[in-house]
Chain A
Amino acid sequence: EAQVTQNPRYLITVTGKKLTVTCSQNMNHEYMSWYRQDPGLGLRQIYYSMNVEVTDKGDVPEGYKVSRKEKRNFPLILESPSPNQTSLYFCASRLSGTAYEQYFGPGTRLTVT
């Protein structure tokens, strides 16, 4: 089954404790992206990757890091999480080209206390 998976689905952590949210897709998509969803703000892009070893900042990259060492994986790293990073996070992937729809993972709900 074609899908994007994220782990963990739920995470409660404390300020400053480094964490990684994994994202993996099995569709051989070149493009992958991370979004955060906050009430009243819709989804905002954090980072994106056009292909392996090619990543760049989206609209709200502060406090996050990413890497793309393999085509299928695109982890999101919070090196020192803060309460303002409490949010619902989505990973997405698609084929190269803006005409294609993005496939989204199930979401990771992160709470930073």
Chain B
Amino acid sequence: AQKVTQAQTEISVVEKEDVTLDCVYETRDTTYYLFWYKQPPSGELVFLIRRNSFDEQNEISGRYSWNFQKSTSSFNFTITASQVVDSAVYFCALSEALNFGNEKLTFGTGTRLTIIP
């Protein structure tokens, strides 16, 4: 069964510091997709990135970067030079290509990130 673990429940950093959010996943499938979503204090869920299991290239988007390592089953998310607007709950999620009819998204429990001004 697929599983996503976000061991960091809460993280607080001072503004402008870098911060990494950890995500470890379990799957029996060889083809799968990993996602990160952001949930700001307003409550909506905002899609950040998707990565497929065959693409281990790291990705950078502005101050955000993602490190995908199949060898350790991890898909970590780093925010560089954090800002107060980055304060949110961040969810890592996994979907398998072959899960027998239910194409569901399995979420981790989330990491609450607080950026202190």
Using a CB–CB distance below 8 Å, which chain A residues touch chain B? 31, 33, 35, 40-45, 48, 50, 56, 58-59, 88, 90, 92, 96-99, 101-104, 106-107
Q: Do B105 and A97 touch (CB < 8 A)?
A: no
Q: Do B104 and A33 touch (CB < 8 A)?
A: yes
Task: Identify A48's interface contact among B4, B32, B35, B104, CB under 8 A.
Answer: B104
The interface residues of chain B lying within 8 Å CB-to-CB of A99 are 33, 50, 52, 95, 97
Q: Do B91 and A97 touch (CB < 8 A)?
A: no
A/B pair count, beta carbons within 8 Å? 61
Annotate B12-56 by CB proximity to A: 1 below 8 A, 0 otherwise.
000000000000000000001101010000011101001010000
What's the nearest-Cβ distance from chain B to residue A47, in Å? Answer: 10
A103 to B46, CA, bound (A): 8
Q: A42-B91, A42-B110, A43-B91 are in contact. Are A102 and B105 (CB under 8 A)?
A: yes
Number of interface residues of B (CB under 8 A): 26
A33 to B104, CA, bound (A): 8
A44 to B2, CA, bound (A): 13
The interface residues of chain A lying within 8 Å CB-to-CB of B32 are 98
Q: Do B102 and A31 touch (CB < 8 A)?
A: no
Name the residue on B nearest A96 (C-beta): B103
Chain A CB within 8 A of B80 CB: no
What's the nearest-Cβ distance from chain B to residue A28, in Å? Answer: 17
The interface residues of chain A lying within 8 Å CB-to-CB of B117 are none
A102 to B47, CA, bound (A): 8
The interface residues of chain B lying within 8 Å CB-to-CB of A50 are 101, 103
Name the residue on A nearest B98 (C-beta): A98
